[in-house]
Amino acid sequence: MSARRTSSNSSNPAGGGKVITITSGKGGVGKTTATANIGAALAAEGYKVCCIDGDIGLRNLDVVMGLENRIVYDLVDVIEGRCKLRQAMIRDKRLPELYLIPAAQTRDKSAISPSDMVRLCDELRAEVDYIIVDSPAGIERGFRNAIAPADEVVIITNPEVSAVRDADRIIGLVEAEQKGPAKLVLNRLNASMVKRGDMLAPEDVLELLAIQLIGLVPEDENVIVSSNSGSPIVLDEKSRAGQAFRNVAKRLTGQEVPFISMDADDGFLSRLGKMMGRGG
Amino acid sequence: MMDFLGRKRKSANKAKERLKLVLIHDRTDLPPGMMEDLRDELIEVISRHIAVDRDQVRIQVTQDGRDQHLVAEIPLKPAKARGR
Ligand SMILES: Nc1ncnc2c1ncn2[C@@H]1O[C@H](COP(=O)(O)OP(=O)(O)OP(=O)(O)O)[C@@H](O)[C@H]1O
Ligand SMILES: [Mg+2]
């Protein structure tokens, strides 16, 4: 266990590390990007972290984290008893406290059940401070598997009609599973489009979804640049998306962090600050 | 669409308005086309007991955070108009 461990992440009923599931409903909104970056940011803060790729059959977290060449065993191997938990945990190249359990590529979601995920995560809790589960898109088995072990659910959405609609549906399902209230990360914001009235503003999305916001991530070319080389963007000090994901990670540990400005003279962040009862 | 000053309405506003309606129906499992039926049936039931000003009846789903409320505004006809 790391020295930075706080009481907030040891207060869950099962004891030990905390399970945070990243989900969205709609595909392609940034779940895998968020998982890799929140995981790396928490590890950079000194926590011991294990990311789990829950997208069985469409393995991707390994390439986003740059660990694809180190895979020997996967999630289904652990669950079916072909290897020990530790053997399936791939250690990150840069952050020694960061691990990945990759998805199986040649199986499908029915290879594991929600109770398998609960059992696996309960075992992992004894090893790490945070377990970040990357959920597949949709509301089927893969989603059920991903939220079953969750102590906390983070919903990623984009400022678009269909993504917000799907996020709302997921929020309802998470509540129905007694896993709520979920928290929101709004990804791929384009400040100039918001300004000219051609993109939903964060305050609009919050008013519609009525859940707690824990991240505003700008559209940033560097996200793609960093995914090309398999290096998390949170390690790039200058990137604004990296800064935004570092802030998400801090808020998940219970720190109060003001929302970063997407633009020097925008009014909406101060309005948002008022709405949420905290500065900036 | 134009706003009251004749300006072209911004697409983000359209998105928000459309989402508001879509979410109400998604959350309540109430198909958009059902509101009219509900209104007619409500009027019918209440009219059996008391005179209702049919044209002024408004029913809508309002939101309070993530909770939905069905709000009906049913003006009644004044007593004298009922031919006492
Ligand atoms: N803030 C951002 N700025 C620019 N590009 C982004 C941003 N966030 C994500 N992307 C890009 O969007 C694409 C989809 O992201 P990602 O794979 O993380 O989504 P996902 O929700 O995991 O998708 P799926 O549902 O298929 O699993 C990727 O190419 C990623 O690099
Ligand atoms: Mg993904």
Q: Would you say the C-alpha torsion A114, A117, A119, A122 has a positive or negative sign? A: negative
Q: Is A28 exposed, middle or buried (0-12, 13-18, 19+ CB in 10 A)?
A: exposed
Shortest distance between the Cα of B3 and any Cα of chain A, in A, equals 14
Tokens of A259: 């929302």
Q: Is A60 exposed, middle or buried (0-12, 13-18, 19+ CB in 10 A)?
A: buried
Which one of A175, A201, A208 has the shortest CB-CB distance to B12?
A201
Q: Do A200 and B15 touch (CB under 8 A)?
A: yes
The pLDDT value recorded for residue B45 is 94
Q: How far is the CA of A31 from the centre of ligand 2 (A)?
A: 5
Q: Evaluate: CB of A31 within 6 angstroms of ligand 1.
A: yes
- For B4, residues 6+ apart whose C-beta sits below 8 A from its C-beta are none
Phi/psi-derived region of residue A46, left when phi > 0, alpha when psi is between -120 and 50, beta in every other case: left
Q: Say how many Å lie between the first and final Cα of chain A, rounded.
A: 34
Say how many CA atoms lie within 13 Å of B52 toward its Cβ.
19
Chain A residues touching B23 at Cβ < 8 A:
165, 168, 208
The pLDDT value recorded for residue A82 is 96
Ligand 1 atom having least distance to the Cα of A34:
18
- The complex scores an ipTM of 0.81
The pLDDT value recorded for residue A265 is 44
The pLDDT value recorded for residue A269 is 57
Q: Do B15 and A168 touch (CB under 8 A)?
A: no
Q: How confident is the model at residue B84 (pLDDT cuts 50, 70, 90)?
A: very low
**Per-residue pLDDT for A224 more than 70?**
yes
Report the residue among A21, A26, A31, A33 best suited for mutation to probe ligand 1: largest number of ligand atoms under 8 A from its CB: A33
Whether A142 contacts A59, CB under 8 Å: no
Q: B76: domain range?
A: 2-82
Ligand 1 atom having least distance to the Cα of A224:
31
The pLDDT value recorded for residue A99 is 98
The pLDDT value recorded for residue A18 is 98
Backbone angles phi, psi at B29, to 5 degrees: 65, 25
**Per-residue pLDDT for A41 more than 90?**
yes
The span from the CA of A36 to the CA of A18, in Å, is 16
The average confidence (pLDDT) of chain A is: 90
Q: Evaluate: CB of A55 within 6 angstroms of ligand 1.
A: yes
- For A6, residues 6+ apart whose C-beta sits below 8 A from its C-beta are A253, A254
Lowest mean pLDDT among A23-32, A215-224, B5-14, B66-75: B5-14
Q: Do A165 and B13 touch (CB under 8 A)?
A: no
The pLDDT value recorded for residue A113 is 97
Chain B residues touching A212 at Cβ < 8 A:
none
Domains and their CATH numbers in chain A: 18-279 (3.40.50.300)
Which one of B10, B23, B63 has the shortest CB-CB distance to A197?
B10
Chain B residues touching A202 at Cβ < 8 A:
none
Nearest residue (CA) to ligand 1, atom 10: A30
Q: What residue of B is the nearest CA neighbor of A209?
A: B66
**Could you give the 3-state DSSP secondary structure of residue A253?**
coil
The pLDDT value recorded for residue A216 is 96
- Give the mean model confidence (pLDDT) for residues A18-33: 97
- pLDDT single digits (tens) A129-183: 999 999 999 999 999 999 999 999 999 999 999 999 999 999 999 999 999 899 9
Which one of B11, B13, B23 has the shortest CB-CB distance to A208?
B23
Nearest residue (CA) to ligand 1, atom 8: A30
What's the whole-model pTM score?
A: 0.88
- Give the mean model confidence (pLDDT) for residues B1-19: 75
Q: Is B37 exposed, middle or buried (0-12, 13-18, 19+ CB in 10 A)?
A: exposed
Q: Evaluate: CB of A59 within 6 angstroms of ligand 1.
A: no
Number of A:B CB contacts under 8 A? 46
The pLDDT value recorded for residue A272 is 60
| Number of structural domains in chain B | 1
